[in-house]
Amino acid sequence: MGFLQFGQPPTITADNALPGRSVPVLPNPAPHTVLGTPIDGPVPDGMEETFLALGCYWGAEKIFWELGAYTTSVGFMGGFTENPTYMEVCTGMTGHTETVRVVFDPNKISYGEILQAFFESHDPTTLNRQGNDRGTQYRSAIFASTDEQYETALRTRELYQEVLDGAGRDTIVTEVNKPGQTYFLAEDEHQQYLDKNPFGYNCHARTGLACPVAR
């Protein structure tokens, strides 16, 4: 998926990032192809949203719609380019990372359980890389939507680091971001990609170690 990038990536700032555009690349998204729910728009009453970056978003999105999310979508966060295209993000010149939006009912699945799946479903110790996918667009990151989510993410990262330390593994490099960053939807062909392409690419980088659920 995307372009393999080797060597030291350039530092992207608002001054040197690609310019982007004012119009969304997916202005009228279709309903979720698996769940039948809207993939964009307001969060329903009583539900929450969070944004998770764990490498290639094609396989990552499937993890969360199978986990019991109300809806999911894929897009980009953490960069500077407004309404970037997939190909622009693949250049590494937008500053974004591939991200899954997860809308969930906390009465059915807790945020701690979502973070457990997040950490167990990729390798959070590899910087700007998951498996053979290399580049800042594959960096590991959590974008919280509330202060409570932010604190839970910090606690979960700390708990999982203790597990990794006990197994002699490397340090987690996952970014934990406070609320306030903008999420941009990716193009339609990337939404629910593995439902549309059942034999499509799916990165399987993992640590193989269980992540505790923060309480």
Catalytic residues: 56
Per the CB < 8 A criterion, the answer to whether 143 and 52 are in contact is: yes
Task: Give the other-Cβ count within 10 Å of 90's Cβ.
Answer: 17
Q: Where are the alpha helices (DSSP H) in 68-109?
A: 86-90
Distance separating alpha carbons of residues 124 and 210, to the nearest angstrom = 13
Angle between helix axes 147-166 and 111-120 (nearest 10 degrees) is 40
Element (H, E) at 144: none
Distance separating alpha carbons of residues 64 and 100, to the nearest angstrom = 9
